[in-house]
A and B are shown apart, each in its own frame.
Chain A
Amino acid sequence: EPEVTQTPSHQVTQMGQEVILRCVPISNHLYFYWYRQILGQKVEFLVSFYNNEISEKSEIFDDQFSVERPDGSNFTLKIRSTKLEDSAMYFCASKEGTLDEILAKNIQYFGAGTRLSVL
């Protein structure tokens, strides 16, 4: 069964460093998302991306964050200068494209996550 793939599974970085989290969404999906889960807390929406632009973002998604779809298969989240409070599990998700599919299903499929540890 097709799945969303995220790499790496665990990323350790020093405070102030830039990190890029990578995701390969399901191949025929057109909507892409990033969510964050601080340890022991709920999953929080960060950003949605469609047609090569951000369609919605949360207040968490400030100027330190950016997303990109550099080619036809990858979807990346960049954190420019990491802070201790950025330590969390980051989930990528994708969803099918047509309006009919969205109204009929509207299911976001999640990857296994990347655990980011900022030291």
Chain B
Amino acid sequence: AQKVTQAQTEISVVEKEDVTLDCVYETRDTTYYLFWYKQPPSGELVFLIRRNSFDEQNEISGRYSWNFQKSTSSFNFTITASQVVDSAVYFCALSAITSYDKVIFGPGTSLSVIP
């Protein structure tokens, strides 16, 4: 079975603080894809990043960075120097090769950035 856990339900930070959103996944497949999506208050789902299971390189994109560690089945997301516009619900998601049609979402972490 595949599962995504995001233990942090809600996080509040003050603007300009760094924040890390945790994600732990479970799958028996050796080939899989991990994603982060952002859902702002307007409700749409915005794709942020995709990682496949063979690529454990960390990635940085502006203020966003992702830390993929296969040994701990984690795919954490860090926002540095947070801004009010980062306030949203963030979903970690998994798609395994044996069921690549289906994206399994975690429960989401609601991030509030306070000015």
Contact = CB atoms under 8 A, between A and B. Distances in A.
Contacts of A113: 43-45
Given A105-B50, A106-B33, A110-B37, A45 B104 contact: yes
A13 interface: no
Contact of B45 (A41, A43, A45, A48): A43
Given A41-B107, A42-B91, A56-B99, A107 B47 contact: yes
Contact of A42 (B43, B46, B105): B105
Interface residues of A, number: 27
Contacts, number: 57
A65 to B, nearest CB: 16
A31 interface: yes
Interface of B: 33, 35, 37, 42-47, 50, 52, 91, 93, 95, 99-108
25 contacts: A33-B101, A33-B103, A42-B91, A42-B106, A42-B107, A43-B45, A44-B105, A45-B102, A45-B103, A45-B104, A48-B102, A50-B101, A91-B45, A93-B103, A106-B33, A106-B50, A106-B52, A107-B47, A108-B47, A108-B95, A110-B46, A111-B44, A112-B43, A113-B43, A115-B43
Given A33-B103, A55-B101, A107-B35, 9 more contacts: A43-B91, A43-B93, A56-B101, A58-B102, A93-B103, A106-B100, A110-B44, A110-B46, A113-B43
